[in-house]
Amino acid sequence: MPSSDRRVRLASAAVLVPSVIALLAACSAGAPGASTASSTGGSTVAPVSKGVSRVAIELVSSGSGDECQISHTTAKAGPVTFTITNTSATGITEAELMQGQRILGEKENLAPGLAAVTFTTTLTGGDYAVVCPGATTESIPFTVTGKAAAASGSDASTLLAAGTKTYGDYVASTLGDMVTAVENLQTAVDSGDVAAAKQRYAVARPFYEKVESDVEGFVLPGTDPTDNTGNLDYLIDMRASNLDTAVGWSGFHAIERDLWQGGRITAETKQYAADLTTNVGKLVSLATTLTYKPEDLANGAAGLLEEVQSGKITGEEERYSHLDLVDFAANVEGAQQAFANLEPGLKAIDPTLTQQVTDRFAAVTEALTKYEDASLAGGYERYTPALRAKDAASLSSTVQSLQEPLSRIAEKVAAA
């Protein structure tokens, strides 16, 4: 979920690399062989280990303001792992790798003192930028030399490539189901039946949550990519915590607010529902451009789990309906689908890690089972403040135990 000033990927890009979101995982605090450099230094080529270049990004506070320091400003083409640590910068909450206006990888919610986080992406020769909104120098040039090697043709590489195709089919199917569910929600809203609209809302919500990390970067053609006027993720899934007053309420959570807080359907509610149907249709048409690399699936799965930690366990996502556990389960399902499509290839690379992730997905699923309630819309208990106070810590701990091994997958599959 973007903040109001977040940069977004251009919808006109023929191949859109899915963005990744911050995950709370225990990773090493720096890159092997990295040297500390100022935001304008670090011109040496990033070291390569096991076929992966490594770049460290550190967010620090200084007398002149918050700074974004990178260990190296050049890397060889191929997989590059960026490890980000916020040591003391209170004014920087995210770091991104961009090419033009296109985000290739990012981490958000980077509070000082949290464990380092990583993302891995395969880059070819060209000019890029490390962008840290809020830093004294926000954009630092980053250069990639050479050309990324073609797939190795190994058994693992072949299996991973096949997995990206079947995962693409899953995303397309999920988006198609979302179109139908949102149209049904609009029909219920137009009828004026609040109870029916609440039921349809609970049915529609999970589809977006399953694939959010894949589709959240699209903007409408002809709109400014640096604000929320055409940001489809904002228009579809904004919430009170990231309200952009210049754009206003929109999408799912505007309808949620009216149904649960207001308890009635107004002309404005009907307009929200009509706009949601329109914007979901536009999103689906744009999402036909999506293609995937194996690390995209791994990064996306990690991003969905961060969505669980930052929005669902905190109760922020569904503040009026308390359907957070419905969204929680959808995020986990989407992450599990991404992992399942990587699993055959990952087994050939690291069977121990594969089994560890499998076991921890099972633990998360088991933790959710006790909240199932088929009598309620969405199939889960309401995540009330009382339930949150009782169980949030244990749920967070269970999810975090999965995030750590999951965070190691992207680098392994990128180098296969």
Digit-coded pLDDT (tens) for 37-61: 445 445 689 999 889 999 999 999 9
Q: Average pLDDT over the chain, rounded to whole?
A: 88
Cβ burial of 97 (10 Å; 0-12, 13-18, 19+) is buried
- Measured CA to CA, the distance from residue 267 to residue 258 in angstroms comes to 11
Most confident of 27-36, 159-168, 221-230: 159-168
Q: What pLDDT score does 22 carry? A: 31
Q: What is the mean pLDDT of residues 78-106?
A: 90
> Is residue 168 over pLDDT 60?
yes
Q: Which CATH number fits domain 1-149: 2.40.30.170, 2.102.10.10, 2.40.50.180, 2.60.40.420?
A: 2.60.40.420
pLDDT (0 to 100) of residue 202: 98
Q: Are 251 and 279 in contact (CB under 8 A)?
A: yes
Query: What span, in angstroms and rounded, lies between the C-alpha atoms of 89 and 132?
Result: 11
Q: In this predicted model, what pLDDT tens digit does every residue of 373-396 receive, in sequence order? A: 999 999 999 999 999 999 999 999
Please state which of the ranges 72-86, 139-153, 267-281 shows the lowest mean pLDDT: 139-153
Residues belonging to the chain? 416
Q: Quickly tell me which residue has 């000019």 as its tokens.
A: 127
Are 179 and 281 a contacting pair, CB within 8 Å?
Answer: yes
Work out the average pLDDT over 133-151. 90
User: Sorting pLDDT into bands at 50, 70 and 90, what band is 14?
Assistant: very low
For residue 27, with 0-12 CB atoms within 10 Å meaning exposed, 13-18 middle and 19 or more buried, which class applies?
A: middle
Helices (H), 113-229: 155-191, 194-215
Decide if 9 contacts 230 (C-beta within 8 A).
no
Looking at residues 315-329, what average pLDDT do you find? 97
Spell out the residues 6+ positions from residue 286 whose beta carbon is closer than 8 angstroms to its own. 11, 218, 232
**Whether the predicted pLDDT of 114 surpasses 90:** no
Q: What is the pLDDT of residues 175-185, one digit of tens each?
A: 999 999 999 99
Q: What is the mean pLDDT of residues 94-123?
A: 87
Helix (H, G, I), strand (E, B) or coil at 150: coil
Whether the CB-CB separation of 348 and 270 falls below 8 Å is answered with no
Kindly report which listed range (111-120, 330-339, 398-407) carries the lowest average pLDDT score: 111-120
Mean pLDDT score, 160-189: 96
Q: Give yes or no for residue 317 having a pLDDT over 90.
A: yes
**Among the ranges given (46-55, 152-161, 273-282, 380-389), the one the predictor scored with the smallest mean pLDDT:** 152-161
Cα of 377 vs its chain's centroid, Å: 26
Cα within 13 Å of Cα(406), Cβ side: 33
Closest listed residue to residue 383, CA positions, set 333, 331, 313? 313
Name every residue whose Cβ is closer than 8 Å to that of residue 88 and which is 6 or more positions away in sequence: 59, 60, 61, 112
In this prediction, residue 39 carries a pLDDT of 53
Assigned token pair, 50 = 């096991």
- Quick one: tokens of 315? 């109760």
pLDDT at residue 221 tops 60: yes
Q: What is the C-alpha to C-alpha distance for residues 29 and 203, in angstroms, rounded to an integer?
A: 41
Residue 149: count other Cβ atoms within 10 Å of its Cβ.
12
CATH number of 155-414: 1.20.1420.20
- Separation between Cα atoms, residue 142 and residue 206, nearest integer Å: 37
Ranges for all domains in the chain classified under CATH 2.60.40.420: 1-149
Strand (E) or helix (H) holding 106: strand 102-107
Q: Which helix (H) or strand (E) holds 223?
A: none
The pLDDT of residue 100 is 81
Predicted pLDDT of residue 217: 85
Q: Contact, 32 vs 69, CB < 8 A?
A: no
**Residue 87 in contact with residue 267, Cβ under 8 Å?**
no
- pTM greater than 0.85 (yes/no): no
